[in-house]
Amino acid sequence: MNAPTPSPAESSAADGLTTAPFERSLTANVAPVPRGVADYFWHAAAQRRQTEQTMLRTFRSWGYADFIPPTLERAETIAAGSSSTLQSQLVRFSDRDGAMLALRADMTIAAARLMATRLYDAPLPQRFCYAGHVFRDLEAQAGQQREFAQTGVELIGVAAPEADAEVLALAAAALQAAGLRDFQLVLGQMEFFGGLLAELSLSESEKIRLQMAVDRNSEAEVDELLRTFSMPHSARRTIEALLSLSGRPPALLLAEAEQLVLNQRMSDALANLRTICAILDRYGIMPAVTLDLTEIQNIGYYTGLTFEVLAPGLGFRLASGGRYDNLIGAFGRTMPAVGVAFVLERVLLALTAQNRQQPLTTPLPPDLVAGNVRDAQQMSTVNRWRGEGLRVAVDLEGRTESQLLLHATTTAAPAVAYFSASGIRVTTGQGAARRTTTLATGGDLRRVLASGHGVTP
């Protein structure tokens, strides 16, 4: 799916490191990163990985298998399945053989190529999930990132509305698993607008102008085009009413849209949305669903259902998706398909806004610092703790116990385990709550750690 690109402001807010106390000014000999890309480290990097893995686990639990496309694609491959807008944003270069290559700009096109060229005789349906970076060469004044992270799914081989509903329900489940409670799934239907265009004697450029005006929900632009274009009165009436077909309960909006239908294609589009909503009701997510028949994404491959995911207070979509039944056919055998792509940076921003928390800008400490580790048995104990899921850093500088306690406080490590002849001295807690316990080899370290939340010298 062709998800939106985040702006630098979004990315800097997501990494939360614009005012980090550990940052240093660049010297004349060190160049900054290129425009439109960012570094992520410490808590920001950990949160990105955790959210990404949580979403992937959710996708896998629904039967989706991992898909890892190459970072490089042939430029003509991406061009074959994308709009002129996306083609203009490709990061292109020639390889040593003179072939024109491009950095991956869209995960869905890569999945379509894979299905058509290598998995054309695989049993259907095929379910894929992914997490990775995509690249777009955008204008500096556009205020957008040129590299951003996506997670998403593709469901290939099923044309039924049950497939559309599964992807929508899975999108909701992934956001809930990541911790986002309040979001909205906004559904549109390309075929409703496509049926309307079929009633108009417009050139391709005129159709694109109208589509862009409707997608922007610009009443002024639509009015100007209606004064310019010649069309039947019934079509004019439908276009004038189209901009109001959003933001209301699905049943009410569909009833209003039925009064504007001009042909069977438009009627079928509404029937499709009605069926999808009925299935989503079984998933229990209809309270989060609204319809918007002005949702017309112009990226070159959507053929039916389109949708976006919004969150309160944020002026951008977290994810977008839809049905693309003709895309795989651009590379070989035609197969129906539907999918969704999340912009990870935007999901993280939504979580930050929901939880009303400022991003942490300090190093990410281990759960425990182990000191005076001097023999194989002690190292085996440390590795056992690591195997139990604890993040354990071993002191490499020969600090005494008091020095190690001071170091742990400075680095915000919540506990110290110091090996001695009498056992393992585990210190937890801060100030008056500080506690030191001697633990025998093989003792229950987690029980001891649960008694304190930090260390002080």
> 56 and 132 share a domain?
yes
To the nearest whole number, what is the mean pLDDT of the chain?
88
Q: What tens digit of pLDDT does each residue of 185-220 get? A: 999 999 999 999 888 888 888 888 888 888 787 888
Domain limits at 63?
8-183+311-355
- If pLDDT is split at 50, 70 and 90, which confidence band does 452 have? low
Three-class DSSP category at 98: coil
- The CA distance from 1 to 338, in Å, is 9
Q: How far is CA 412 from CA 40, 339, 386, 396, in A?
A: 20, 42, 19, 17
Same domain, yes or no: 210 and 67: no
Q: What's the CATH code of the domain at 375?
A: 3.40.50.800
Asked if residue 5 has pLDDT above 70, the reply is no
In this structure, the answer to whether residues 13 and 93 fall within a common structural domain is yes
Q: Which residue has the tokens 């990775």?
A: 132
Of residues 297 and 108, more confidently modeled: 108
Confidence of residue 23 (pLDDT cuts 50, 70, 90): very low
Half-sphere exposure of 329 (CA within 13 A, CB side): 11
Give pTM, 2 decimals. 0.87
pLDDT tier, 22 (very low <50, low <70, confident <90, very high otherwise): very low
Nearest one of 301, 40, 18, 226 to 147, comparing CA atoms: 40
The mean per-residue pLDDT over the stretch 232-243 comes to 88
d(CA 286, CA 228): 40
Q: Are residues 128 and 33 in the same domain?
A: yes
Q: Contact, 317 vs 122, CB < 8 A? A: no
- Both 21 and 151 in one domain: the answer is yes
114 and 41 share one domain: yes
- What's the pLDDT at 43? 87
If you average pLDDT over residues 343-355, what whole number do you get?
93
Does residue 212 lie within any of the structural domains?
Answer: yes
| Residue 427 falls inside a structural domain | yes
The DSSP 8-state label assigned to residue 292 in this structure reads B
147-167: per-residue pLDDT in tens? 999 999 999 999 999 999 999
pLDDT at 457: 43
Residue 304 lies in a domain: no
Q: Would you state the structure tokens that stand for residue 452, as one six-digit string?
A: 């304190």
Residue 207 CB coordination number (10 Å): 15
Q: What's the confidence (pLDDT) of residue 6? A: 63
- Does 455 map to a domain? no
Lowest mean pLDDT among 76-85, 170-179, 336-345, 397-406: 76-85
List for the chain the helix, strand, coil content (%; round to 5).
Answer: 40, 20, 40
Residue 200 lies in a domain: yes
Please report the pLDDT score of residue 15 as a whole number.
45
pLDDT band at 67 (very low <50, low <70, confident <90, very high): very high
Classify residue 2: in a domain, yes or no. no
Pairing of strands 289-291, 184-189: parallel
Q: Are residues 419 and 324 in the same domain?
A: no
Residue 17, SS3 per DSSP: coil
What pLDDT score does 455 carry? 47
